[in-house]
A and B are shown apart, each in its own frame.
Chain A
């Protein structure tokens, strides 16, 4: 019988905290890398990402040649210009464009999430505290926004409002706000019945003070964890919008645009100019997801 019973008691406190998982560490590294490249990316590119070189559709160096080339770069020995990821059909260096792109992709995703996180948390707090009809209105509007397919709504909104970085940020923020409204409201509803909230009430504190100083800070954790995952999705969406021509304007270095521009060359065997930006998107989205997942586990403990 003992095998099926859960014996929860004091013994648990002797268990040491498990070390952070490998995936969480990998996620943290990728997230940090994307943020660093967002700031310094365009400044450290080996070539100007917007000026074509003389080599057109140059493939990347063979894998076997990479160590030799690396050695030459490190020792400063004379060598031909190297295009690590090759060049595209207009002669732009793919490597430079891949590391310059976070300035657009990551920046848009992060700003959109900051805006929606702030807006969503405040609306969620309102929905958790206000009278039922206010809460009902906020939640039904959230339902309405979430009822539309995200990508198609995004496409239409950006096209109508004009393709600029600001409109993309605002569109994504609009689409992601309901996620944070819902999360914050759920957490507010459980936090507002906790003892310290009642204790503050008994001390005669105003409801608005209690909501902003006690409830909101304690209700933010799930939203912050969600933000990490949503940033990943927002990057995917930004790239997706520009891929279908409803996002950032060319020739801005941007992963989705790069894939769109070289999709035609793929059939001619020029795989490198779309593969590397594609890999960059996958790795970044995966990194944010793994980071968020790890955060969630830490929070659950």
Chain B
């Protein structure tokens, strides 16, 4: 939304340094009213430092050593601290990561929104309280009077984010700074939050600086893109031209992944077959049990990758842990290469486990901090492996031989994850369970790990169970995809079927919330979006019929009474929704 009006924010030659080391160098930026500017860059590129500097703040030994930050023509940096503080919160709103951590657990959310409002406007407590309720109502919360009385622990993560927007927008700021506002949120909540923010600022004509590492968010919601690299601005371009031809190497390497598509060939003969697996966990201090996995069945072929997607709490990690027998499934059969994993004796299981390996989400947590990389790899191989074998393993995962002597702490997260992968492939397994292997990594490291995993699959013919909530990486890794909701697989089919034309209402909503790094496929422009209303049912008291029925836009009365079976659709995939299959049969294409 380009505008000829005077810019809301005009930053000129901003410099921040930490003890002589430049963290931000010569930063320039203007934001017009109603414009949303995306700021991206790898971890440590200085995004958060910049966010603080725009408010006239620094952390630790940091110091703003030059430049000016003009907010509606007034230089913030030239003001004294008292008048700067007056403008923060009134003229500049800030939204931070981790919404719950930013709210005080001891005060009602309505009070907290009101307190921010009162600190900048001369209003009474009652006025502030009614203003807080108005803000919550305008953000689409139903029953805002009751929500305002809630404490932060009583509301969901998505709602906590809305409270934060209400706090940030309470005084109608001209500029909103949002620092990774959606990291750690599930995709559907993320999309909901960003949609709301987008609508609100468009209506109010505020300027927004949105900092994120997710180029999908930028493609969907931003008018302009600024890229930071080591504190230097390497790009400032309109979104369309940025995605068409990024000029800097960082953006090019991240966007390059969009084009790779060919996966290694897989044979359909099943290596792993799971049938009717079920797992519940006892609830402490109660007779009730939490249902984590409910009647899950699937197969994985030799050299094939099955992507398992779903939001947090959908049971996808428990499925992986059951296959590895790190938790015991209650019922069901797991057969691996013809052998029954669930009934294997301890000795047989130990031998079987070596063909079944795992890479976990947190790369540092998965390596014993007291062991060197060589010790860690030697532990996997058993016996005394030669130095050559260790060097070879390190080379396979793209690490130099000198890494062998290092302890995990000395390595970057990406290198740590490579060591984890090296340990997994050291025993020459046939299947590796990848449990969110890229979620804790920076975008650059994430891409490198995905390439590495695909490369290893092509060379060693290993199969993967790829568990992730990040739909972008799943799309790049998987031959087939299974979507989980509340412990059940609701749809399983080929990558194209799931990503191009999802059938199940939940898959549709999940994929609709998927932000593609392509400004021509923006979510805000789409009209066929299917969204789910209401809250996810508790896994302790599950509904009698279909678990989605209470939120489903196409639910029929019978859905609420009868559980839906996972049935084959005409095109070969399996869907747990009879109405959806019926609609496909009516209009085959």
Contact = CB atoms under 8 A, between A and B. Distances in A.
A142 to B, nearest CB: 23
Contacts of A199: 358, 360, 366, 420, 423
A198 interface: yes
Contacts of A80: none
A9 B360 CA distance: 23
B43 interface: yes
Contact of A202 (B19, B60, B356): B356
A201 B325 CA distance: 9
B88 A1 contact: yes
What range describes how many residues of A lie at the interface? 20 to 34
Interface stretch (B51-59, B245-253, B474-482): B51-59
Interface stretch (A12-20, A261-269, A277-285): A12-20
Interface in B348-384: 349-351, 353-354, 356-358, 360-362, 365-370, 379-380
A196 B19 contact: no
B380 A7 contact: no
Interface of A is mostly: helix
A203 interface: yes
Nearest to B363: A195
A11 interface: yes
Contacts of B349: 204
A33 interface: no
A2 B89 contact: yes
Contacts, number: 112
B49 interface: yes
A205 B98 CA distance: 38
B62 A218 contact: no
B59 A203 contact: no
A200 interface: yes
A201 B365 CA distance: 14
A204 B354 CA distance: 7
B351 A14 contact: no
Given A196-B367, A203-B380, A1 B168 contact: yes
A300 interface: no
B368 A15 contact: no
A14 B48 contact: no
B94 A9 contact: no
A194 B19 CA distance: 36
A200 B94 CA distance: 44
A6 B98 CA distance: 10
A2 B88 contact: yes
Interface string A6-43: 11111111111000000000000000000000000000
A217 interface: yes
A195 B360 contact: yes
B23 interface: yes
A3 B102 CA distance: 11
A214 interface: yes
A205 B376 CA distance: 13
A14 B60 contact: yes
B60 A5 contact: no
Nearest to A9: B48
B262 interface: no
B449 interface: no
A65 interface: no
A202 B101 CA distance: 35
A15 B49 CA distance: 12
A1 B94 contact: yes
A7 B48 CA distance: 8
Interface residues of B, number: 58
B326 to A, nearest CB: 6
A4 B88 CA distance: 12
Interface string A186-230: 000000001110111111110000000010011000000000000
A9 B324 CA distance: 34
A14 B21 CA distance: 9
B21 A200 contact: no
A46 B272 CA distance: 80
B179 A11 contact: no
A105 B180 CA distance: 57
B308 interface: no
A218 B369 contact: yes
Interface in B48-107: 48-49, 51-52, 55, 57, 59-62, 85, 88-89, 93-94, 96-98, 101-102, 104
Nearest to B94: A2
B86 to A, nearest CB: 12
B456 interface: no
B454 interface: no
A204 B353 contact: yes
Nearest to B357: A202
Given A14-B23, A16-B19, A198 B369 contact: no
Contacts of B44: 10, 13
Contact of B102 (A5, A196, A200): A5
Given A2-B94, A202-B353, A11 B52 contact: yes
B302 interface: no
A204 B427 CA distance: 11
B139 interface: no
Contacts of B104: 4
Contacts of B207: none
Contact of B85 (A3, A14, A16, A201): A3
Contacts of A5: 94, 96, 102
Interface in A246-266: none
A11 B360 CA distance: 26
Contacts of B483: none
Query: Which interface residue of B102, B104, B168 has the most chain A CB atoms within 10 A?
Result: B102
A13 B88 CA distance: 25
A223 to B, nearest CB: 15
B96 A7 contact: yes
A112 B391 CA distance: 46
A194 B104 CA distance: 30
Contacts of A218: 368-370
A253 to B, nearest CB: 41
Contacts of A7: 48, 51-52, 59, 96, 179
B282 to A, nearest CB: 13
Nearest to A15: B60
Contact of B89 (A1, A12, A194, A217): A1
Nearest to B98: A8
Nearest to B55: A2
Given A2-B57, A4-B104, A204-B353, A198 B358 contact: yes
Given A7-B48, A198-B358, A203-B423, 18 more contacts: A1-B93, A5-B96, A7-B96, A9-B179, A9-B180, A10-B44, A11-B59, A13-B44, A14-B18, A15-B59, A16-B61, A198-B360, A198-B366, A202-B326, A203-B379, A204-B350, A204-B351, A217-B370
26 contacts: A1-B89, A1-B168, A5-B96, A7-B48, A7-B52, A7-B59, A7-B96, A9-B97, A11-B62, A12-B60, A13-B44, A14-B21, A14-B23, A195-B362, A195-B367, A198-B324, A198-B366, A200-B379, A201-B326, A202-B353, A202-B358, A203-B354, A203-B357, A203-B380, A205-B379, A218-B369
Q: Closest 9 interchain pairs by CB?
A: A195-B366, A204-B350, A15-B60, A9-B48, A195-B365, A1-B89, A14-B18, A195-B360, A196-B368
